Structure 1
Amino acid sequence: MSSKPVLWFLFPFLFNLVVAAVAPFVVDGAQGVATAVGMGVVPLGAGSALLKGRKEGQHAA
């Protein structure tokens, strides 16, 4: 998981996670909350899929 292709693949998801954390403080009201939720779903889903795939790969080995 620490190879360069994996790290470059994870960079956009980490960027989305940072934007999701900052959005409610920068954008006011419901738009900030909606931006945070929308941008936060992508990296959380990708992270859970990577961890799930990693656990399944360990059982096969």
Structure 2
Amino acid sequence: MLSLFKRFVIIVAIVVAITDIVVFYHIWKDPTILTIPFVAAVIIITIIPIVINLWYWLVFKKSQN
């Protein structure tokens, strides 16, 4: 079984890869889409899973101690 840290890294890598694929597709399709709200949405979509996984990892680590 994977440790929580390895699981965290894998999930974050998958989310970031999917986000990058979607972003590059939309920028390639329509370069004018690159606006401040679009960039902010990409950053938020990327950061939310990182924060959720980090929070879960920290809470689970505390409960084991």
TM-score of Structure 1 vs Structure 2, range by shorter chain: 0.5 to 0.7
Q: How many Å apart are 1:49 and its aligned residue?
A: 0.7
Percentage of identical aligned residues: 6
Give the number of aligned pairs. 52
Cα RMSD of the aligned pairs, angstroms, is 2.9
TM (normalized to structure 2)? 0.55
Number of the residue aligned with 2:45: 42
Instruction: Find the residue that maps to 2:6 and give its secondary structure.
Output: coil
TM (normalized to structure 1)? 0.57
Identify the match of residue 60 of structure 2 among 34, 57, 60. Answer: 57
Which structure has the larger Rg? Answer: 2
Extract unaligned runs of 5+ from structure 1.
none
